[in-house]
Structure 1
Amino acid sequence: MAVCCVPPLKPAVSAPAGPVLIPRPPAPQTIPPCSLPAPGPCEPSLPLASSGLATAGFRTAKYLLDEWKIRCQAGFAQAFADRDSSERGRYESKRLAAETEASSQRSQAGATRALGERLQDLHFWRSELCREIGDLTSETDLLVQQKRRLERAMDASEVLATIASDNLQCRERRLGPDLVRDQVEEELLRELELVRNVQELLKRTLEQTVMQIRLNRDAKQTLEMDWSDKVEAYDIDDKCGRYNNQSTEIQFHLNSSKFEDNASTPESWAQFSHDNICKAEHERMASINLRTLIDNILQDTAEDLRMQAAAVDKAFAKRCEEVEDAKRKLENQLSKTLEEIAKQEMNIASLKQAIKDKQAPLKVAQTRLYQRTHRPNVELCKDAVQFRLVNEVAELTESICCLQQQLEESEQALINMEDTRLSFVKEIAIKANSLFIDREKCMAHRTRYPTLLRLTGYQ
C-alpha cells in the first residue's frame, strides 16, 4: 500500500537576541494514507461483461468505447482528487510546521522569561540571606566580645573575693579586746556577700550569653544552608537560561517533565526563606538586647563593687584613726603612769626614811621611861615628866603606825600602777598589732583592688 510522504521540516529560524529555549519537538503525527488510484489499463482485472453487437454470440475481453472513456474520465478524476488531496496535505503540513515552530519558539521564550524572573527572585532572596548572614555574623562577633568581658569580669570578681576573704582572715589575728566585730568587719562581710551575688549574676548572664551565641550560630547555619541551596539553584537556572537550539549540551531526557513528589510550591519556597530570615532577625534582636543587658549589668555591678570598696576603705581609715588615737592616749597615760610610779617610789622611800627617823626618838622616850622605872621608893612618882614621856611614846607609836599604813597604801598604789603600766604596754602592743594588720596587711592588700575598667571587663 503506497503512503504519501511528509516533506521534511524546514530548519529552525535563527534565535532572537538572548538565550531562547526550544522545547522538545512534538511526536510525529501519523499522516493518513492517500487515496489509491484506480488500476491502469495494463493492470489485470476481472473481465467486465461486454454489451452490444460485437459481443453477440461469443465471449471477449475488449472494452466498449464508452467504457474506455468512462474509465479514462474516472482515472483523470481520481488523479485530480489525489493531487488535490496531496496539495491540501502539503499546505496543512506547512501550516502545522509553522504553527509548531512558532509555538515552540513562544514556549521557549516564555520559559526563558520565566527563568529570568526566577533568577531575579533567587537573586533577591540570596541577597537578603547574604545580608542577614552578614548582620548575624557581626552581631555574634559583638556578643562573643561581650562574653569575653563577662569572663574577665568573673576573673576580677575572684580577685575581689580573695581580697575580702584575706582581709577577714587577717583581722582574725587581732589580739585581746581588739578582736571586735567593728564597722570594718561588717563592711567586709557586705563586700564579700556582694561579690558572691555579683558572681552568681555574672555566671547566669554568661550561661545565657553562651546559649544565645549557640542560637545565633544555629540560625546562621540555617541561613547559610539556604543561601548555598539558592546559589546552586541560581547557577543551575542561569545555565538553563543560556541553553538554546544550537547548544551542544542539550539532549533528550524522557522522564524529566514529571513533577517530583517532594517539590515545593513558589509560596512555600518563599515562605521558607522568609521564616529563616525572621528567625535570624529574632535571634539577632535577642542578641542585641542581651548585649545591652550585659553592658548595664557590668556597669552597675562595677559601680556597686567600687562603692562598697570605697565604704570598706573609709571604714578601715576610720578604724585606723580610732585605734591610732587610742594608742596615742594609751602611750600618754603610760607616760604619766611611769612618772607617777617614779614619784611613788620616791614617796615610799621617803616614808621608809620617816619611819626609820621615828625609831630613835621612840627609843629615847622608851629608854627614859624604862630608866625612870628604877627610881627608888617614893621617887617613883607620876610626875609631869612621866606623863609627858608616856604621851611622847604614844605619839611616836601612832606616827609610826600612820607612816606604816601610808607606806602600805603607797606600796599598793605602786603595785596597782605597775599593773596599769603592764596593761598599758600590752594594750599599746595590741593596738600596734591591730594597726599593723589593718594598715600593712589589709589596706596594702586592697591596693590591688581591680579598677573600674577591669570590673567592667575591658582589661
Structure 2
Amino acid sequence: MSSEVLVSRPQYDSRAVALGVPEKDLPAEPEVPEPSSGSATAGYRSAKYTPAEWFSNYHTILQQAGTDRHEAWSIQRESKTLYQDTEAATLKTQAEGTRLLGGRLQEIHYWKSELQRHIEQLLADTESLLALKTRLEKALDATETPYAITTDNLNCRAKRLGPDLVRDSVEEELLKEVELIRSVQALLKRTTAQVVTQIRMNREAKKVLELDWSDKYQAYNFDDLSGRYSNMSPDARHHPSSATMQDQVCNLTSWTKFTQDNLSKALQEEQATNSLRMLVERVLLDTTEDLRVQCSSVDRAFSQRCVELIEAKTQLEMKHAQVLEQIGAQERNIVALQQAIHNKGAPLRVAQSRLYVRSLRPNMELCRDVPQLSLEGEVKQIDATLASLHQQLSKARGSLSHLEESRMAIEKDINCKTHSLFIERDKCMTHRKQYPTICTLSGY
C-alpha cells in the first residue's frame, strides 16, 4: 500500500460554468484527521469520507438531477410554445408584408400608368405643336409672295404717266393690303414664338414625368422582387442595416403629392396646348381669310379701274376720230376760204380797173354817175367781202390750231391710258394671278 496521503478534490459545478453562473463559494474542505502516530495505520484514514457524507453526496446529486430535469422540461415546454407562437407571428407578419407589397405594386402601377398616359399625351401635343409650327412658318413664308406682288404693283403704278398718276381706289386698296400683310406677318411671328415656348414647356413637363416614371419603374421592379422573396429563396441574405429607419426618406403623403403635382403641371400644359392649338388654327384661318378678302378687294378695284380706263380710252378714241374728222373739214374750209379770197381778186381788179379807167374821163365827163356809184359800191362790197373772208380764214386757222392741240392732247391722253391699261391689266393683274391659294396661306 502506498504511503502517499489521499487529499479530497474540490467540488466543481460544470453546469454553472456552462450557464455562465459565477461559481459559488466552494465548501470548506473537511479537516483531515491527523495521522496516527502509529505506523500501522498510516495512509488509510487520511482524505476519506464518512458514510454519512457518502449518502449525503449521492442524495444531493439525485436531488439536483431531478431539479435540473424538471427545469429542462419546463424550458422545453416554454420553448415549444414560444417557437410555435413566433413562427405563426413571423408567417403572419411576412404574409402581411407580402400583401402590403402587392398593394404597393398596384398603387405604383396606377401612378406609373397615369404618368405614361400623360407622357404620351404630352408627346402627341408636342408633335401637333411642331406640325402647327411648321404650318405657321410656311404661312409666314407664303406671305412674302403677296407682299412682293403688292409692292411690285405699287412700283409699277408709280410709272404711270401724266394725269393717270393718281391716288385712286386701287392704290388705297394696295396700301391697305401692304399694311394687312405686315400685320399678318407680325401676328404669325408672335404666334410662332408662343408655340415654340409651349413646346419647350411641354418638353420640360414631359422630362419631369419621365424621371418620375423611371423612378417608379425601378421602384416597381424592386418591390416586385421583394414580393417574390420567400423563406425558400436561395438569394435571401442578411442586411442588418437595411432595417434602420432613414431620416431623409419621404412619407407616403409627400410621395403621392409629388406625383400629383407633376401630373397637375402636365395637365396644365396639356390644357394650354389645346388652347394654343385652337388659337393657332383660328389665327391661320382669320389671316388667310383676311388676305384673300383684301386680295379680292384689290382685284375688284383693278377690274373697275381697267373698265374706267377702257371706257375713257374708247371715248378718247371716238373723240380723236371726231377731231380728226373736224380737222379735215376745217382744212377743207380753209382751202375753200382761201379759194374764195383768191376768187375775189379778179372782180376786184375788174372793178378797180373800171374805176381807174373812168377816172381818166375828161372835164365834166368825170361825174359820179350811176355806173360810177355802182362801181364804187362794188369795190366797197368786194373789200368788205375780202375782209370778212380774211377774218373767217383767221378764225378757221385758229380753230384748226385748237383742233390740232386737242388732237395732240387726246393722242397723248390715249397713250397715257394705253400705258396705264398695260400696267393695270397686263402687268399688275397678270402678276396678281400668282397670289397664293388658301391652302398655301394656311400653311399646307
Does the TM-score normalized on the shorter chain lie above 0.5? Answer: yes
SS at match of 2:144: helix
Equivalent residue of 1:448, what SS?
A: coil
Q: Which residue number corresponds to residue 192 of structure 1?
A: 178
TM-score normalised to the size of structure 1?
0.86
Alignment of 1:208-223 (within 5 A): 208-223=194-209
Distance 2:378 2:264 in 1: 124
1:35 CA drift (Å): 9.5
Aligned residue for 1:255, secondary structure, equals: helix
**Across the two proteins, how many residue pairs are aligned to each other?**
421
SS in 2 for 1:259: coil
Q: CA RMSD in A?
A: 2.4
Deviation at 1:260, TM superposition (A): 3.3
> 2:156 — aligned with what?
170
After superposition, where does 1:145-160 map in structure 2 within 5 Å?
Answer: 145-160=131-146
Structure 1 unaligned segments of length 5 or more: list them: 6-30, 51-58
Question: In the TM superposition, what is the alpha-carbon distance from 1:246 to its structure 2 partner?
Answer: 2.7
Q: 1:144 aligns with which of 110, 114, 130?
A: 130
- Measured at CA, do residues 425 and 354 of structure 1 come closer, stay the same or move farther in structure 2, by a change above 3 Å? same
2:198 aligned counterpart, secondary structure: helix
Shifted more, 375-384 versus 99-108: the winner is: 99-108
Q: Distance in 2 between matches of 1:88 and 1:127?
A: 57
1:108 aligns with 2:94: yes
Task: Please say if residues 37 and 79 of structure 1, whose CA atoms lie closer than 8 Å, have aligned partners that are also in contact.
Answer: no
Stretch of structure 1 that moved more, 191-200 or 425-434: 191-200
The alignment-based identity, stated in percent, is 46
Match of 1:46 in 2: 29
Where do residues 302-341 of structure 1 align in structure 2 (5 Å cutoff)?
302-341=288-327
Of 383, 387, 390, which aligns to 2:369? 383
Residue by residue over 1:340-380, the C-alpha shift from the partner in whole angstroms, topping out at 9 and shown as x without a partner, is 11111110000000000001111111112222222222222
1:249 is matched with which residue: 235, 244, 254? 235
Identify the residue that residue 191 of structure 2 maps to in structure 1: 205
Distance (whole Å) between structure 2 residues aligned to residue 422 and residue 360 of structure 1: 39
1:157 shift after superposition: 1.6
2:355 pairs with 1:369:
yes
1:270 is matched with 256
Q: 1:159 to 1:2 in 2, by over 3 A?
A: farther
1:283-303: CA deviation from partner (whole Å, max 9, x where unpaired): 001101111111112112211
Q: Which amino acid aligns with 1:427?
A: D
1:229 equivalent in structure 2:
215
Distance in 2 of aligned mates of 1:215 and 1:340: 82
2:108 corresponds to: 122
- Whether the 8 Å contact between 1:355 and 1:400 is mirrored in structure 2 is yes
| Secondary structure of 1:205's aligned partner | helix
Partner of 2:428: 442
**Counterparts of 2:332 and 2:199 in 1: how far apart (Å)?**
87
| 8 Å Cα contact 1:35/1:82 also seen in 2 | no
Q: Equivalents in 2 of 1:410, 1:317: separation in Å? A: 43
Partners of 1:361 and 1:35 in 2: how far apart?
A: 189
Query: Aligned partners of 1:2, 1:297: CA distance in 2, in Å?
Result: 100
Residues 16 and 23 of structure 2 are in contact (CA less than 8 Å); yes or no, is this contact kept in structure 1? no
The two structures have a TM-score, normalised by structure 2, of 0.89
For 1:123 and 1:313, how far apart are their aligned partners in 2? 63
The more displaced of 161-170 and 377-386 is 377-386
- The corresponding residue for 2:120 is 134
Segments of 4+ moved more than 6 angstroms: 34-39
- Structure 2 residue aligned with 1:260: 246
Alignment-mate amino acid for residue 257 of structure 1: A
Residue 137 of structure 1 and its aligned partner are, at CA, apart by: 1.3
State the distance in 1 between where 2:58 and 2:238 align.
52
The CA distance in 1 between the partners of 2:31 and 2:91, in whole Å, is 58
- Aligned counterparts of 2:440 and 2:98: Cα–Cα separation in 1: 63
Q: Give yes or no for contact 1:147–1:209 (8 Å, CA) kept in 2.
A: yes
Deviation, 1:390, is 1.6
Residue 456 of structure 1: CA displacement? 1.9
Specify which of 341, 345, 352 is matched with residue 338 of structure 2.
352
For structure 2, list consecutive stretches of 5 or more residues without a partner in the other structure: 1-12, 34-44
- Structure 1 residues 95 and 48, CA gap change in structure 2 (3 angstroms): farther
Deviation at 1:64, TM superposition (A): 5.2
Whole-Å Cα distance in 1 between the matches of residues 275 and 19 of structure 2? 78
Distance 2:330 2:46 in 1: 196
Q: What's the CA shift for 1:48? A: 5.5
Quick one: which amino acid aligns to residue 264 of structure 2? C
* Larger helix fraction of residues: 2
- Once residues 337 and 136 of structure 1 are traced to their aligned partners in structure 2, the CA distance between those partners, rounded to angstroms, is 80
Question: What SS does the corresponding residue of 1:301 show, helix, strand or coil?
Answer: helix
